[in-house]
Structure 1
């Protein structure tokens, strides 16, 4: 968690970060991930043209529990023609008895489609933070192969350096963590596999993998298993945000990207 408060008092500047760090230390390993999962990451002659996109705020490796989502502030798709607002296509659904969303989208032309969501801020009282995870996933249609690294323009965002589709299990996924368009040196990136029920982690340390970016904000991770993988760089926002009681609290800004690896067998 990077604290970049503008307060001049060094003790005041450190206090929120130290508090959050202690809370994280005391809590069991259980990372929050905003999911944005497409029914497929490749559209070709063997698949339907209609995608279903599932949005849930949950703990992917542990298969929940999910947290209730507010209606997203933004939901759309970025193509070579620009951004299209898809917020009105969202339909409310339940995941683990909590509010979540899904949307259908019909692919009408070849190209790379960068689907993205800015969720409503989520209050996490156990950590004393408001959470906003800026999330995206990329779908390729009919082998276009271009535009997969287009940036949405989020305050924090991961730009893929590896094409984020057509990936085998075992491939190395590499990306760069950016804040306001600039690389974030030594950013910490949490990685989780979206568990399909076939794996029980042998210990808490296996639930969330952790890697650090280098001095240029670049990180890599080799995905050992087929399925959907979420990469989340967590960075503290510049400005506090009021919690539901109106008290200003730190903001956890997450830069997330979801990619799917397939088994080579």
Structure 2
């Protein structure tokens, strides 16, 4: 039987090992961002929206990951998809490549902006990552078209209008893969930290929820700002990593939602 000193030493050793493992482990919650300068365009904002596209860890405010030129950037409006890929311009942030673009709306309707980034190799997880990401911008109080589907391989269909939301409102959506609901899909949620919040433990950085049998999930957003919802699904077929080895592909369907304090 171990004495008190031996038990304390064993406990300390276990905690020390766990701490070293946690310190060595990279942050796993990658989020593709496509953040507009405004989610509601008015006479005051004007008809042009600027979009910031980066691959990062939003709650931790980084680090950023290098982005290769996106495979596709576009916008769905009034039933028509327009390609904006060639308008995206690279920019350097902390030595990493991100992208920015501007788009001027042509009519009062809802604009669903989306990006499919180039596959990203994550050696720590042994998989390639592609997060198909979208955000909705309302133009001049149209409030029509916010639930339109782009047709991305993995996509969140909003069941709540994703703008004009107050802090504490609940966001609900359906996780779809190839257009069909994904039962019990895992959805990661992060707040785009403005530096005002420090997570008291790692479990607070990324919220994790599961959809129901119909692919529907819900989450109440407790703080003003941008919230990212990442539905993570493994692709049916593996893909080649930069070394030519066949590895799993994580396909994410992401959606960004902005909420504001009621003042």
> Larger relative contact order (C-alpha < 8 A, sep ≥ 6)?
1
**TM norm structure 2:** 0.90
Q: Is the partner of 1:88 in helix, strand or coil?
A: helix
Query: C-alpha separation between the residues in 2 aligned to 1:147 and 1:106?
Result: 17
Residue 71 of structure 2 aligns with which residue?
73
Moved over 2 A (4+): 26-30
Distance in 2 separating the partners of 1:42 and 1:96 = 29
**Aligned ranges 1:243-262 → 2 under 5 Å:** 243-262=241-260
Task: Give runs of aligned pairs for residues 28-67 of structure 1, distance below 5 A.
Answer: 30-67=28-65
- The corresponding residue for 2:101 is 103
Equivalent residue number for residue 160 of structure 1: 158
Deviations 1:7-60, CA, capped at 9 Å, x for gaps: xxxxxxxxxxxxxxxx99x94654000000000000012212211100000000
Provide the secondary structure at the position in 1 that maps to 2:175: strand
Query: Does the alignment pair 1:88 with 2:50?
Result: no
Q: Distance in 1 between matches of 2:27 and 2:100?
A: 28
Show CA shifts across 1:159-210 (max 9, x none).
Answer: 0000000011100000000011110001010000000111111110000001
1:218 alignment counterpart: 216
Q: Once structures 1 and 2 are overlaid, which stretch shifts more, 54-63 or 74-83? A: 74-83
- 2:199 corresponds, among 198, 201, 221, to 201
Q: Is the 8 A contact 1:30 1:208 kept in 2?
A: no
Number of aligned residue pairs: give it.
242
Alpha-carbon contact 1:170-1:222 (below 8 Å) kept: yes
Which structure has the larger Rg?
2
In the alignment, which residue of structure 2 is the partner of 1:14? none
Q: Structure 1: give runs of 5+ residues left out of the alignment.
A: 1-22
With structure 1 as the length reference, what TM-score do the two structures score?
0.89
In the TM superposition, what is the alpha-carbon distance from 1:94 to its structure 2 partner?
A: 1.4
CA contact (8 A) 2:158 2:173 kept: yes
**Structure 1 residues 28, 204: CA separation in 2 closer, same or farther (over 3 Å shift)?**
farther
Deviations 1:208-263 (A, max 9, x none): 00111001000000000000000001110011110000000000000000010011
Alpha-carbon contact 2:26-2:124 (below 8 Å) kept: no
Deviation string, structure 1 residues 78-133 (Cα, Å, up to 9, x no partner): 01141000011100011221011000111221000000000000000000000000
Is the 8 Å Cα contact of residues 155 and 179 (structure 1) preserved in structure 2?
yes
Q: Distance in 2 between the 1:29 and 1:246 partners?
A: 25
Name the structure 1 match of 2:240: 242
Aligned-residue RMSD, C-alpha: 1.4
Q: Provide the residue aligned with 1:171 in structure 2.
A: 169
Contact 2:209/2:217 (8 A) holds in 1: yes
1:103, 1:179 → 2: CA distance?
Answer: 28
Q: Indicate conservation of the 8 Å contact 1:116/1:136, yes or no.
A: yes
